[in-house]
C-alpha cells in the first residue's frame, strides 16, 4: 500500500513505487489517494481528479494499481482502515507492506491508532533527499524493537516490522513544488508524466489556485 494525496502524482512517487516493488519483489503495489486526508488541509483538487491523474500515471506499469478504495469511504481516510481492508482481501498470511516517505514517517505518532498499523502490516520508509530531519523521540518509541536489517528479514513475516530503504533514484520532487510551478506558469516538464501534465492543462486544474492568489492580493 502506498497512500498519499497525489496532488498531483509525480515521478518521485512513481519511480519510488517501481524501485520498492523491485527491491522487495512485490506482486502488486496499491497506490491509494486519500479522499479526506486526516493530517493536512483538504487538497485543492477533487479526489476524483487526483484519482484520474494517478490512473494516467500508472498506465502500463506492471504491478502498479490506482486503487479507489478510500474514495468509497466516508469520513477521514485513516490508513489503519485501508490496511484492514487490504488484509481482509489478501488474508492473514500475506506479507503486507505500507510504504511511506521519510517526511510522512516523522509524524507517525500523530496518526490514528499508529500501533495498530503494525498489527496489520510492515512499514517501509523511503528516504527523500529533500526531507532529512531526525526522527522525533515519540516515533522512535513507537517503532522500537521492530526494525528489520534487510528486506529479506522483513519479508519473513506477514506484519509487525519496519525497514528504512534508500532507493537508487531518490528524486527530490514534491507536489508542493509542482503546484508552485503551475501557479507561476513555469514548466513542470519531466517532473511528472506527460499524460498527467496534459490532463492538468486540458482540465484547467490548479489554475484555480492562480485565480485565488490573484484575488487575495
For residues 154 and 148, give the distance between their C-alpha atoms in angstroms, rounded to a whole number. Answer: 6
Which residue carries 492562480 as its cell? 210
Q: Are 211 and 185 in contact (CB under 8 A)?
A: no
Q: Which of 1, 4, 18, 78 binds ligand ATP (CB under 6 A)?
A: 4
- Least distance CB 158 / ligand ATP (angstroms): 22
**Which listed range, 87-95, 172-180, 191-199, 201-209, lies at the site for ligand ATP (CB under 6 A)?**
172-180
Q: In what order do the strands lie in the sheet with 2-4?
A: 64-66, 29-33, 2-4, 97-101, 122-126, 162-165
Site string for ligand ATP, 16-35 (x = CB under 6 A): x-------------------
Q: Which of 54, 64, 100, 123 binds ligand ATP (CB under 6 A)?
A: 100
**Which listed range, 53-61, 70-78, 173-181, 208-216, lies at the site for ligand ATP (CB under 6 A)?**
173-181
Does residue 46 bind ligand ATP (CB under 6 A)? no
Does residue 206 bind ligand ATP (CB under 6 A)? no
Does residue 193 bind ligand ATP (CB under 6 A)? no
State the CB neighbour count (10 A cutoff) for residue 186. Answer: 11
Does residue 104 bind ligand ATP (CB under 6 A)? yes
Grid coordinates given for 123: 512499514
156 or 212: CB nearest ligand ATP: 212
- Least distance CB 206 / ligand ATP (angstroms): 12
For residues 11 and 54, give the distance between their C-alpha atoms in angstroms, rounded to a whole number. Answer: 11
**Which listed range, 12-20, 66-74, 89-97, 145-153, lies at the site for ligand ATP (CB under 6 A)?**
12-20
Query: What is the enclosing helix (H) or strand (E) of 101?
Result: strand 97-101
- Least distance CB 17 / ligand ATP (angstroms): 9
Please tell me the chain's helix, strand, coil percentages from 3-state DSSP, rounded to the nearest 5: 45, 15, 40
Does residue 5 bind ligand ATP (CB under 6 A)? yes
Q: Which of 6, 78, 111, 162 binds ligand ATP (CB under 6 A)?
A: 6
Amino acid at each position: 500500500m502506498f497512500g498519499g494525496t497525489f496532488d498531483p502524482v509525480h515521478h518521485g512517487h512513481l519511480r519510488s513505487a517501481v524501485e520498492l516493488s523491485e527491491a522487495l519483489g512485490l506482486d502488486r503495489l496499491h497506490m491509494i489517494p486519500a479522499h479526506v486526508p486526516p493530517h493536512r488541509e483538504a487538497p485543492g483538487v477533487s479526489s476524483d481528479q487526483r484519482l484520474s491523474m494517478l490512473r494516467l500515471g500508472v498506465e502500463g506499469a506492471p504491478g502498479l494499481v490506482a486503487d479507489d478504495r478510500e474514495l468509497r469511504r466516508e469520513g477521514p481516510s485513516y490508513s489503519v482502515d485501508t490496511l484492514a481492508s487490504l488484509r481482509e482481501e489478501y488474508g492473514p498470511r500475506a506479507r503486507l507492506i505500507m510504504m511511506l516517505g521519510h517526511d510522512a514517517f516523522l509524524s507517525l505518532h500523530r496518526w490514528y491508532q499508529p500501533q495498530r498499523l503494525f498489527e496489520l502490516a510492515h512499514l517501509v520508509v523511503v528516504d527523500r533527499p529533500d526531507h532529512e530531519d531526525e526522527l522525533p523521540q515519540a516515533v522512535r518509541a513507537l517503532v522500537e524493537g521492530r526494525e528489520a536489517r534487510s528486506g529479506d528479514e522483513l519479508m519473513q513475516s506477514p506484519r509487525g516490522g519496519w525497514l528504512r530503504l534508500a532507493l537508487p533514484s531518490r528524486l527530490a520532487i514534491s507536489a508542493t513544488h509542482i503546484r508552485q510551478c503551475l501557479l507561476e506558469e513555469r514548466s513542470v516538464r519531466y517532473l511528472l508524466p506527460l499524460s498527467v501534465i496534459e490532463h492538468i492543462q486540458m482540465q484547467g486544474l490548479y489554475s484555480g489556485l492562480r485565480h485565488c492568489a490573484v484575488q487575495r492580493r
